[in-house]
Chains A and B, each alone.
Chain A
Amino acid sequence: MSLERFDGMRNNPVSKWIKLIVLGAVIFWWTAAGLLAVETEADPMATIKKPIDKVIEILNDPRYKDPDKREIQRERLWETVRGLFDFNEISRRAVARHWKKFSPEEKKRFADVFADFLGNTYIDKIQSEYNNEQIVYVSQIARGNKALVKTKLLRGESLEIPIAYRMKKIDGKWKIYDILVENGVSLVKNYRIQFSEILKKHPPQYLIKRLETKLAEQKKKRAEKNK
């Protein structure tokens, strides 16, 4: 294409229109893509699907088959899912009416130790028992800043465990604040009764200590197992 011809085209009113159309299309494209990106980001199901898929990938990764690598694998699993949960909200709900007895510092300590305890317990379980389970994403519904995402865990061909996630939008991000097993057994409620029994008789410090002790026991057990 010669320069002359190019110049000529520039002054052509038709080419102006073409440019305008192309520009319009590009702007439209960007906006649409941007909107779509926001849409998928805000989608509660997509929010949990990505890390869960990653978890399964890590569990299947042959690099971690070696018993020496199990600690590294669990670290990676924990990193992957930790951000999915809002442990402050989980703690607040699990402690429920006793929460106001906690000082701000105790609240923070409790949320941290409870997070580690939950992480340990459940990561231990999936790490030691993972056997090609599949996750089926059944449905999601969101209203306002709350959402419910239903999934199913398929264990072989014979067992199906419905698992639902209650989520809340916090700072524009969907975070899990409760897990429902078998269509109605709430994890948070299950801890609530246990914590409540303890907090009826003991100060918050005691509960935090109990969790820390349990955490230490788990760690010891794991160390023995990995030997």
Chain B
Amino acid sequence: MPSKKRNAPKKTNRLTIAALLAVMVLAGAGGCSSVPATAKADPHSPPDLSWLETGEIYPGYEDDRRYIRRASETEATRDELEDELEDELEDELEDELEDEMAGETTIADPLEGFNRVMFQINDKLYTWIMRPLAKGYRAVLPEMVRRGVKNFFVNLTTPIRLVNCLLQGKAGAAEAEFARFLTNTTIGVLGFGNPAKDYPELNPPVEDTGQTLGRWGIGEGFYLVLPVLGPSTLRDTVGLLGDYCLNPLSYVTPSRDELALKGCRSLNRLSFHIGDYEALKEASLDPYLSMRNGYIQLRRSRIKK
């Protein structure tokens, strides 16, 4: 099976991988469930050869498979990677020529007064409510559980990304999203696990409706700080509506449950990012401008990809 994977052409092998993984798990569930669990032994200890006699699957199989995959990946994707980097460097040099000594990454901000007030309100909301909550949450739940919850929600919100891949004509990425969904829903047990994580070809860049609108040539409009949700633009706010419609959680009834689930998702996500906002604040002379610029840079670079 590993050699098959190595030789498979890059573009078409996402579904293959998902299928192979699914087959492996089914096979595992069917007959080979008694594989000795010694695979992750100390690499310096003498190799355990007992599997030879018992006729079991070689216990280091999983690790080797991963290793072989990594190695072949490096080889197969090197050219691609180099091309990509070339392009990127090209883009960068161009960018630089453009803004070397001149411009700033700017965005119209006609509502700056309102936005700054909203920024302050969100700042307090974060510092006084969200952060203590997230800290408590992080203290109570081990990382493994939080990771599972995160994976679950990421998997569940596949439609947002998948549909937006399609709307942008990114067939390969859409296929990858779908393959990851299949993989993580089956092998990952309803998405709590993320076995697709180790396969870069199953993890395309994250898409959303705001990016789709941008790709379609719709301008950002102007900068907007939303209550609770934070930095956005006029276009991305419309995008959020699209995301809302594509989010399966939005169809949970009663709406109290929907809110609870979405709250849980946000809190869980925040528990991985405690300190990031504080760092931004600490590192800037004007946190509002720093946040605005960071958001705009991030969105523009994502739309380019």
Contacts and interface: CB of A to CB of B under 8 A. Distances in A.
Interface string B262-285: 000000000010010001001111
A42 B292 CA distance: 37
A157 B150 CA distance: 12
Interface residues of A, number: 41
B106 A148 contact: no
A124 interface: yes
B104 A193 contact: yes
Contacts of B81: 139
A51 B146 CA distance: 33
Interface in A31-65: none
A134 to B, nearest CB: 15
Judged by DSSP, the binding face of B is helix
Contact of B101 (A97, A129, A156, A218): A97
A194 B300 contact: no
Contact of B290 (A143, A194, A218): A194
B102 A97 contact: yes
**What's the dominant secondary structure at chain A's contact region?**
helix
Contacts of A214: 285
B89 A193 contact: no
B101 A185 contact: no
A182 interface: yes
A70 interface: no
Nearest to B298: A185
B284 A193 contact: no
14 contacts: A96-B102, A121-B282, A125-B282, A141-B89, A146-B93, A156-B143, A184-B297, A184-B301, A189-B99, A192-B105, A193-B104, A193-B292, A193-B293, A198-B285
Closest 10 CB pairs of A and B: A184-B301, A141-B85, A185-B297, A121-B283, A158-B147, A193-B104, A193-B293, A194-B289, A194-B286, A190-B293
Interface of B: 81-82, 85-86, 88-89, 92-93, 99-102, 104-106, 143, 146-147, 150, 272, 275, 279, 282-286, 289-290, 292-294, 297-298, 300-302, 304-305
